[in-house]
Amino acid sequence: MEYAWIGIGSNLLNPKKQVDQAIQALSQLPKTEFISCSKYYRSRPLGYHKQPDFLNTIVILYTDLRPELLLDYMQEIENQQGRVRKFATCCNSYPRTLDLDILLFGQYRICTPKLVIPHYDMMNREFIMYPLAELDQKLVLPNGKCIADIIRGFPKKGLTIWDN
């Protein structure tokens, strides 16, 4: 069993409803226990700004699923909630009903064409780093750095608590 930290984001078709449904679906995965959820955050879109703000949160799961199988389940949840996959660069996002990402999976480091863990750009994303710190100030990332040290002085870039 391993702890998996899952990032959830939405900015289309009632983001709060999309995220709530995703959390419900994640909590029902086989061989998996739902542990915790951060507050809901509002973040500005990356790159292309002519779109609504994103609702972001992070959940912690305790799972016996392999990372690749967990990813398959997550992509099925995205598909069921109307996710349309488009190409996006690390600095440019597009609107979406739901985005689920495995941010961390224990202390695993995975780099395959299908899956990269830790998340490839998490160290640059306030909507990942602040919820991680909220959930566990003592969290040590696979690079050996403590989340509490990382977010000291980390820019919020407009990140706020979701109030809708």
Catalytic site residues? 83, 96, 99, 101
Taking residue 32's Cβ as centre, other Cβ atoms within 10 Å add up to: 18
The DSSP element (H or E) to which 41 belongs, if any, is: strand 41-43
Look at residues 73, 80, 84, 76 and name the one whose alpha carbon lies nearest to residue 11.
Answer: 84
How far is residue 4 CA from its own chain's centroid? 10
Residue 96 neighbours by CB under 8 Å, 6+ apart: 9, 10, 11, 12, 83, 84
β 54-63/116-117 pair status: unpaired
